[in-house]
Amino acid sequence: MEVDALDYSVVAIDILGRVAKERRLRIKSQTLDVKRSPLPFPDACFDAVYSHMLFNMRFSEDELHFIFSEVRRVLKPKGLNFFSVRNHNDKSYGRGKEVEKGINDLDGFQIRFFTEKQSKPCAFFLGCF
C-alpha cells in the first residue's frame, strides 16, 4: 500500500515521517492548510481517502464544500471517502461556548458538531459520491 499523508501540523508530519522511516513504511507526508490550498494531487489518483475528525475543525460551510470537492476530485471513479466526525450523539455536544452556529469552544478547542440533518456530511455538502 502506498500512502500520502497531509496535516496542518508540522509537528505531526515530522513525527509521522520519523515513525514511517523507523518502520520502513511507504508514506509520503507533507503539511498543507486545506482551507487555503487545493490538494496537491492530480485528478482521480486515489482509490481511497481517509480523514479522522478533519471536518470537525472550525471551517465555514464554503470551506467544507471546497474540501469535500477536492476529495471528490482526487478520488478515482468508485473511490471511497472514509471519514469520522463528531456529531449530535457525542457526549460533548452542546457543551462549552457556542462561538459560531454549530461550532463550540471546549477549553480553547473549537469543534464543529454535525447535527442529525448533517449526519452524513458528504451528502449534506455535496451529495453522495
DSSP letters for 22-40 = HHT--EEEEE--TTTS--S
pLDDT, position 88: 84
pLDDT, position 101: 83
E strands, the chain, where? 3-7, 27-31, 46-52, 75-84, 97-100, 103-106, 109-112
pLDDT, position 94: 87
Per-residue pLDDT of the chain (129 residues), as tens digits, is 889 999 999 999 999 999 999 999 999 999 999 988 999 999 999 999 999 999 899 988 889 889 989 999 999 999 999 988 888 889 998 899 999 888 999 999 999 988 777 656 555 555 443
pLDDT, position 39: 96
CA 19 to chain centre: 21
Domain extents in the chain: 1-31, 40-125
The secondary element (H helix, E strand) that includes residue 72 is helix 61-74
pTM: 0.82
CA dihedral 120, 122, 126, 129 (to 10 degrees): -110
pLDDT, position 64: 87
- Radius of gyration of the chain from its Cα atoms, rounded to whole angstroms: 16
pLDDT, position 20: 95
Question: What topology is assigned to 40-125 in CATH?
Answer: Rossmann fold (3.40.50)
Q: In the numeric block, which cell numbers belong to residue 82?
A: 472514509
